[in-house]
Structure 1
Amino acid sequence: MSRVLPFEVTHRSVLAIAVPMTLAHLSTPLLGIVDTAVIGRLGRADLLGGIAVGSVIFSILFTTFNFLRSGTTGLTAQAVGAGDAVAETAALYRAGLIGLAAGLLVIVLQAPILAVSLASMGASGEVERAVSVYFSIRILGAPFALLNYAILGWFLGRGQAVTGLALQLLLNCLNMALNATFVLWLDWGVAGVAWGTVIGEAVTAVSGVALCARTLARGFGIPGPLLFARDGLMRTFAINRDIMVRSFSLLFAFALFTSASARQGDVALAANAVLMNFFLLGGYFLDGFATAAEQLAGRAVGARYRPAFSRAVRLTFVWGAGLAIVLSAVLLIGGPLFIDILTTNEEIRRTARVYLVWAALTPLLGVAAFEFDGVFIGATWSDDMRNMMLVSLAAYVVAWQVATPHLGNHGLWLAIAVFLVVRGATLALRYPVRLARTFPG
């Protein structure tokens, strides 16, 4: 039996991970705002639409590979907790190789990916031409982007959140600076935004590899048979598969929300889009504590030390719940002002205010789902996380079908609330079972 390696979990250790990662998460939407503003200065609707559609395509594409970040964090944290330097290094190498291979495969398959994406978007010919230019350039950065996922996950698994923040800030700040330079100064248009993103991803990947090499120092070597050991590879692929199913389920839930909103008319669609920003903002904040749960819970599993695991779960929940209360209060009180900032259309403003309470409550309704997600990823209980996500998605679809005919848009938001609550509740029900199995006796 592996030895127990005790360690202490404190409020400070939780915040040391959560605060940097919250800042990193919040820098991501800022990049999208800058890209839109830069292209918007050119005054061409087709270019702005091309960036918007292209960004959605890559968001969906790269979300598919989000397991490279989450799965690597859990596996690395467990290796750190167990004091297994070889397993820690293997987690990085396996994820990095998968990321590079997947990125190259995406480049090879770029033609069918673009064709299917354009067919599903239904954009105008002018917008499609802009998307094609953007896509054909940005796709070249896929190997770097996916390698960055693996590197970020590895540093987070080691508890080096400040390093993760530095890499994210390098990526986003360099991206913004290059995009502005290429578009506003060199007049490269949509191609400028794409090249800025590719170069930013490449520079960040090279910087990340350099930081990994420095961290590993002389311990970077690992025997091939250990790296490609069947048990290690099968475990990595199983966890990644489960997280991929979870990611696709989330994408489906948001796609269904958007589609159902569109069926209610342009005003309802626009109002829901405005309010969805509140939901996403809450998610960016709560993700910081979910990341802390990933690292600390994973480390405790590797160390076979139940007290640290239980305290990590308790402290991340306390901080997450406290933050959720504050966020919901801020959104309830300041929501009307935020709505007015996001749109000048009076009809959309009035409609959004009607449904504001639903969006404002999403941090509170979803805090358990976010925090348990972090715990289950860190503990690599990915099969239960996958299964409970599918149960929650089924509950969401049923609630949508039952409620919207009677409640309209209120019914749609009620379905989102059901989705969040069921995710948290089902994971909470599975938690004691998995805890007893992981820490027997």
Structure 2
Amino acid sequence: MSAAAVSGVPVASARRIAGLALPALVVLAAEPLYVLVDTAVVGHLGRVPLAAVAVGGTVLTLIAWLGGVLAYGTTGRSARRFGAGDRAAAVAEGVQSSWLALTAGLAVALGMQLVAGPLARTLAGSSGEVADAAAQWLRIAALGAPGLLLAAAGNGWLRGIQDTRRPLWYVLGPNLLSAVLCPLLVYPVGMGLVGSAVANVVAQTLCGALFVAALVGERVSLRPRPQVIRHQLAVSRDLLIRGVAFQASFLSATAVAARFGAAAVGAHQIVVQLWFFTVLLLDALAIAAQALVGAALGAGDDDGARALARRIGLLGGACGLAFALLIAVGANLVPTLFSSDLQVREQAAAIWPWFVVIQPLGGVVFALDGVLIGAGDVRYLRNVAVAAGFGGFLPAIWLTYAFDLGLGGIWAGLTLFVVIRLVALSLRLRSGRWAVTGVH
């Protein structure tokens, strides 16, 4: 069965890409939007609760990142089997990734009961009051980790079988419920900061339960298969190493920006968070690429996969160019929305041209990331990320510090990081070695 037959629409059509990308975008945005609501609710409790959520939220963000790694690894494997016409095998990948998610989630939930205190004290520094509040929040919120990771695994296999509509409702519904529940528990019920954590657990647990119910409804064997789980762990390992290279680079960039003063690090934080937001939007396109490329290769349609890769790359570049134009137009307005400090705005203005230039380059890079993840070429992605991060971005960051080049040097390093990846991914795409057909 061809990929086109599976979907009922030509595999590289813009309509098919949009049909997968737009619901995925809502799923990607739901969690950050809920975090904003949670932050706004807790912020009215005072400085200490807000700081506690900031500390605890950093830890949960790392757990969510692990879930993203699991989802990406599952999507490519599931999509290949779906493209080969074996829906049951595609869903079976979801069964195994769900066992992996459940095991990891339980380990996190239990482990956090032991390490929440020391971890919060490390992150909160000298503020014992904040550390105690953060530890309390973390111990409760971490109970939602199994649901969070089960939802990630569920997103993975459902994207693999070209279904992004059910994940839309499974994620959006619980998050909307929690957005209503959070202020009720915090204020009228009087639970305070604890109410925020409880609302978080309710959302994550309900979300995970919906994805598990979808899996059970497929009527496939739910027995764990260690051999398949080991293969999934190998993919996740490479994606984790890739992610560590990213995290190390961006943490170093923030550390160096802080050494240039409060205004510099404030401006860097504003611009880099805006960039992360555009990355979030482009990730929806990458998710569509993962599902469609995996299905095409599973169906033995390497020509279709190559055509799709080219179209996805062009769409990524076009989206990036559109963002660049919007950002250029908003150069004088957008920084004022985030800070009234003149020095912060001046520092932001100095790096704004880099922010504009990086958009179309990044648009192509993120799109091609999705193509290669869908093709299962994660080892190459790992090597590229390590080379670009430790061989390009990090040296540029620390040279910037050594020669006092300011934020411009940091953002030049970030641009170099993106350019190295763009060149490496383009060469890989052109070589065709990524387009390995069949199920493996």
Structures share a fold, TM > 0.5?
yes
Q: 1:69 to 1:180 in 2, by over 3 A?
A: same
Asked if 2 retains the 8 angstrom alpha-carbon contact of 1:282 and 1:362, the reply is no
What is the CA-CA distance between 1:213 and the residue it aligns to? 3.0
Asked if 1 retains the 8 angstrom alpha-carbon contact of 2:372 and 2:434, the reply is no
**Residue deviations 1:228-250, cap 9 Å, x none?**
263x3332121111111112222
* Counterpart Cα distance in 1 of 2:3 and 2:164: 22
2:107 counterpart residue number: 105
* Counterpart Cα distance in 1 of 2:435 and 2:306: 14
Match of 1:208 among 188, 192, 211: 211
* Counterpart Cα distance in 2 of 1:205 and 1:229: 22
Instruction: Give 1:107's aligned amino acid.
Output: A
Match of 1:47 among 49, 52, 64: 49
Instruction: Give 2:61's aligned amino acid.
Output: S
Instruction: Give 2:381's aligned amino acid.
Output: M
Asked if 2 retains the 8 angstrom alpha-carbon contact of 1:279 and 1:362, the reply is no
> Is 2:424 aligned against 1:423?
no
> Is 2:186 aligned against 1:220?
no
* Counterpart Cα distance in 1 of 2:414 and 2:178: 33
Asked if 2 retains the 8 angstrom alpha-carbon contact of 1:66 and 1:244, the reply is no
What is the CA-CA distance between 1:194 and the residue it aligns to? 0.6
**Residue deviations 1:297-345, cap 9 Å, x none?**
1111111101220122122122211111111111111133221111222
What is the CA-CA distance between 1:433 and the residue it aligns to? 3.8
What is the CA-CA distance between 1:262 and the residue it aligns to? 1.0
1:346-361, aligned counterparts within 5 Å? 346-361=342-357
* Counterpart Cα distance in 1 of 2:434 and 2:153: 30
* Counterpart Cα distance in 2 of 1:244 and 1:114: 26
> Relative to structure 2, which stretch is displaced further, 119-128 or 146-155?
119-128
> Relative to structure 2, which stretch is displaced further, 308-317 or 150-159?
308-317
2:122 counterpart residue number: 119
Instruction: Give 2:51's aligned amino acid.
Output: G
SS at match of 2:191: coil
Instruction: Give 1:398's aligned amino acid.
Output: P
**Residue deviations 1:323-374, cap 9 Å, x none?**
1111111111113322111122222122212222222333222122211210
* Counterpart Cα distance in 1 of 2:358 and 2:182: 33
Instruction: Give 1:103's aligned amino acid.
Output: G
SS at match of 2:332: helix
1:25-424, aligned counterparts within 5 Å? 25-42=28-45, 44-110=46-112, 111-112=114-115, 114-116=117-119, 118-214=121-217, 216=218, 219-221=219-221, 224=223, 228=225, 230=227, 232-394=228-390, 395-404=392-401, 405=403, 407-424=405-422
* Counterpart Cα distance in 1 of 2:358 and 2:55: 26
What is the CA-CA distance between 1:27 and the residue it aligns to? 2.8
Asked if 1 retains the 8 angstrom alpha-carbon contact of 2:78 and 2:90, the reply is yes
* Counterpart Cα distance in 2 of 1:281 and 1:65: 18
Q: Which runs of 5+ in 1 are unaligned?
A: none
Q: 1:358 to 1:269 in 2, by over 3 A?
A: same
Asked if 2 retains the 8 angstrom alpha-carbon contact of 1:5 and 1:81, the reply is yes
* Counterpart Cα distance in 1 of 2:384 and 2:174: 34
Percent of residue pairs identical: 26
Asked if 1 retains the 8 angstrom alpha-carbon contact of 2:29 and 2:280, the reply is yes
Instruction: Give 2:90's aligned amino acid.
Output: E
Q: 1:28 to 1:416 in 2, by over 3 A?
A: same
1:24 counterpart residue number: 27
Instruction: Give 1:281's aligned amino acid.
Output: F
Q: 1:301 to 1:12 in 2, by over 3 A?
A: same
What is the CA-CA distance between 1:62 and the residue it aligns to? 3.1
* Counterpart Cα distance in 1 of 2:53 and 2:328: 32
Asked if 2 retains the 8 angstrom alpha-carbon contact of 1:329 and 1:360, the reply is yes
* Counterpart Cα distance in 2 of 1:280 and 1:371: 15
What is the CA-CA distance between 1:257 and the residue it aligns to? 1.5
* Counterpart Cα distance in 2 of 1:164 and 1:359: 32
* Counterpart Cα distance in 2 of 1:147 and 1:128: 29
Asked if 2 retains the 8 angstrom alpha-carbon contact of 1:159 and 1:295, the reply is yes
What is the CA-CA distance between 1:379 and the residue it aligns to? 0.8
* Counterpart Cα distance in 2 of 1:336 and 1:245: 38
Asked if 1 retains the 8 angstrom alpha-carbon contact of 2:290 and 2:372, the reply is yes
What is the CA-CA distance between 1:410 and the residue it aligns to? 0.4
What is the CA-CA distance between 1:25 and the residue it aligns to? 2.1
* Counterpart Cα distance in 2 of 1:334 and 1:181: 37
2:18 counterpart residue number: 15
* Counterpart Cα distance in 2 of 1:19 and 1:409: 34
With the length of structure 1 as denominator, give the TM-score of the two structures.
Answer: 0.92
Asked if 2 retains the 8 angstrom alpha-carbon contact of 1:372 and 1:427, the reply is yes
What is the CA-CA distance between 1:185 and the residue it aligns to? 2.2
* Counterpart Cα distance in 2 of 1:336 and 1:205: 43
* Counterpart Cα distance in 2 of 1:6 and 1:343: 50
> Relative to structure 2, which stretch is displaced further, 377-386 or 18-27?
18-27
* Counterpart Cα distance in 1 of 2:41 and 2:434: 53
**Residue deviations 1:369-427, cap 9 Å, x none?**
21121011111111111111101112111222334425221001111111112122212
SS at match of 1:16: helix
SS at match of 2:330: helix
Q: 1:37 to 1:116 in 2, by over 3 A?
A: closer
**Residue deviations 1:137-191, cap 9 Å, x none?**
0111111111111011111111111222222212322221121211132232211
Asked if 1 retains the 8 angstrom alpha-carbon contact of 2:108 and 2:142, the reply is yes
Q: 1:64 to 1:116 in 2, by over 3 A?
A: same
Q: 1:436 to 1:190 in 2, by over 3 A?
A: closer
What is the CA-CA distance between 1:82 and the residue it aligns to? 0.9
